[in-house]
A = this chain, B = another copy of it.
Amino acid sequence: MQRVVIVGGTHGNELNGIYLYHKWQQSDFGVNHPFQVEFCLANPQAMAACRRYLDQDLNRSFKPEDLNNPELSAYEAQRAKELAQALSGADFLLDLHNTTSNMGLALILSRAEALDDPLMRQLCAHLQKSDPLVSVYFMPNASDNNPYLPSVAKRDLTLEVGPLAHGTLGAELFFRTEALVQCWLNFLADWDKGQAPSYTGALTVYEFVRNLDYPRDANGLLTAMIHPQLQGQDFEPLAPGAPLFMDLNGSTLPFESQETLWPVFINEQAYYEKHMALSLTRKISVSL
């Protein structure tokens, strides 16, 4: 482990990582580690506008064919090429996000092979032990061939912190995020020295099953909202027939499913345009 990168501002209105970057730039955070710790602000123009992105979602701009396509001129397409070149080959990349959903401190694993990696499994167990808000969401995105920014590194984690309105700071989550990132750095240093704690037993993981959109009319307008009983219940079980949406007249639409699933990213603001009201996961145990 020689080079570790912490990225903030992949989305320009997610202030948690952006302000941690500003804090760490002016402190000794990340020094005294046996490897180089770099900080990066991924999308400065979106940050200046306090918007998620200017032209397109930067975190969906890392398809290999797009990175090699000199014709793409959107701001984020160009920025993705610069970032891929600058960060390529980093040993570990941590990408700091925040969300309007009640995700707590969610570790997102977006590589199909992430759970086969002993370091990643042990790291997740260690981070989970450090803060009860930590959950592990396994969402391999190879299937849709749309890798995230952290895919340019050898290993990665996306950290989703919420609930927090985009464009705002929340002090409690700010300091819990910082403590978790410190914990992650310490674990990597210990792992390199062969001194990391070793966890046995099982790791609870929420594995992506499918996305659900809001009910909509022919014009794309929502005809129902997240049901009040489901709001904020990320990582909690949703049984078949349980309240899912409430339509604009106050009628409840139940969850149609053969099995209990665990919703995440419930009512995330940025996913309205992606046609995702929530993602459904299955709770699994992974052997440590």
| CB atoms of A168 and B248 under 8 A apart | no
Contact indicator A165/B22 (Cβ below 8 Å): no
A56 to chain B, nearest CB (A): 14
Q: A221: which B residues are within 8 A, CB to CB?
A: 19, 22
A250 to B167, CA, bound (A): 20
- Chain A residue total in the interface (Cβ 8 A): 33
A187 to B249, CA, bound (A): 23
Could you tell me which residues of chain A, from 135 to 186, have a CB within 8 Å of some CB in chain B? 163, 165-172, 174-175
Segment of A68-76, A113-121, A224-232 in the binding face = A224-232
> Which residues from chain B contact A60 at a C-beta distance below 8 Å?
none
Q: Are A166 and B166 closer than 8 Å at their CB atoms?
A: yes
Contact B248 A23 (CB under 8 A): yes
Q: Are the C-beta atoms of B248 and A22 separated by less than 8 Å?
A: yes
A228–B172 touching, CB < 8 Å: yes
Asked if A239 lies at the interface with its beta carbon under 8 angstroms from chain B, I say no
A3 close to B (CB within 8 Å): no
In the docked arrangement, what's the CA distance between A100 and B169, Å?
A: 11
CB distance from A48 to the nearest CB of B (A): 11
The interface stretch among A78-86, A89-97, A267-275, A280-288 is A267-275
Bound complex: CA of A163 vs CA of B100, how far in Å? Answer: 12
Provide the bound-state CA to CA distance between A228 and B174, in Å: 10
Task: Check B175 against A269 for contact (C-beta < 8 Å).
Answer: no
**A248 to B19, Cβ gap below 8 A?**
yes
How many whole Å from A131's CB to the nearest CB in chain B? 16
Is B225 in contact with A167, judged by CB distance below 8 angstroms? no
Report the Cα distance A163→B250, complex, angstroms: 20
A92-110: which have CB < 8 Å to B? 100
Decide if A87 is an interface residue (CB 8 Å cutoff).
Answer: no
Chain B residues closer than 8 Å to A77, beta-carbon distance? none
Contacts of A19 in B (CB 8 A): 221-222, 248
8 Å CB contact of A166 from B174, B175, B269: B269
Which of B51, B169, B248, B270 is close to A225, meaning CB atoms less than 8 Å apart?
B169
